[in-house]
Amino acid sequence: ALEPNNAHVIAGVVDIAHRVGNTEMAIRHLQHALELIPGDRTLRRYLAVDLGNIRKYDDALALFEPLINEEPGDHLARIARVQMLQERGTMQEALPDTTALLALQPDDKVYQYYHQLAQGQVPPHVPVELTTRMFDDMAKVYDKHMVRNLSYRLPKQVADQLLEIFPTRRFNLLDLGCGTGLVGVYLGPIEGAIIGVDLSQPMLEQAAKHNIYTKFYQTNVLDALSETPAAHYEAITCTDVLIYVGDLTPVIPNALRILKPGGTFIFSCEAAAEDEADLVLRSPSNRYAHKASAVERLCREAGFDEVVVEALPALRMEGGQPLPGFLVTAHKPLNA
| DSSP code per residue over 294-315 | HHHHHHHHHT-SEEEEEEEEEE
For the full predicted model, state whether its pTM sits above 0.95. no
Buried b (16+ CB within 10 A) or exposed e, 288-313: bbbbbebbbebbeebebeebeeeebe
Q: Are the CB atoms for 304 and 332 separated by under 8 Å?
A: yes
User: Dihedrals φ, ψ of 233, to 5°?
Assistant: -130, 150
Q: Are the CB atoms for 269 and 242 separated by under 8 Å?
A: yes
Give the pLDDT score at 79: 96
Tens digit of pLDDT per residue, the chain (336 long)?
899 999 889 999 999 999 888 999 999 999 999 999 999 999 999 999 999 999 999 999 999 999 999 999 999 999 999 999 999 999 999 999 999 999 999 999 999 999 999 999 999 999 988 888 888 888 888 888 787 777 889 999 999 999 999 999 999 999 999 999 999 999 999 999 999 999 999 999 999 999 999 999 999 999 999 999 999 999 999 999 999 999 999 999 999 999 999 999 999 999 999 999 999 999 878 899 999 999 999 999 999 999 999 999 999 988 889 999 999 999 999 997
User: Dihedrals φ, ψ of 212, to 5°?
Assistant: -110, -40
Helix segments in the chain, DSSP class H: 7-19, 23-36, 41-53, 57-70, 75-88, 95-104, 109-118, 128-138, 142-143, 154-165, 182-187, 201-208, 221-227, 242-245, 251-258, 292-302
Give the pLDDT score at 287: 94
Alpha carbon 192 to its chain's center: 29
Q: Are the CB atoms for 231 and 261 separated by under 8 Å?
A: yes
- In angstroms, the CA 19 to CA 140 distance is 14
3 state SS of 78: helix
- In angstroms, the CA 25 to CA 7 distance is 16
CA-closest candidate to residue 184, choices 168, 192, 196: 196
Give the pLDDT score at 140: 85
Q: Are the CB atoms for 165 and 264 separated by under 8 Å?
A: yes
Cis bond upstream, residue 284 (ω within 30): yes
Give the pLDDT score at 149: 75
**Count of beta carbons in the 10 Å neighbourhood of residue 148:** 9
- In angstroms, the CA 267 to CA 26 distance is 40
CA-closest candidate to residue 142, choices 205, 97, 93: 205
**Count of beta carbons in the 10 Å neighbourhood of residue 205:** 13
- In angstroms, the CA 241 to CA 178 distance is 9
**Count of beta carbons in the 10 Å neighbourhood of residue 236:** 28
- 295 Cβ partners below 8 Å, 6+ apart? 248, 252, 269, 309, 326, 328
**Crossing angle for the helix pair 41-53 and 23-36, to the nearest 10 degrees:** 150
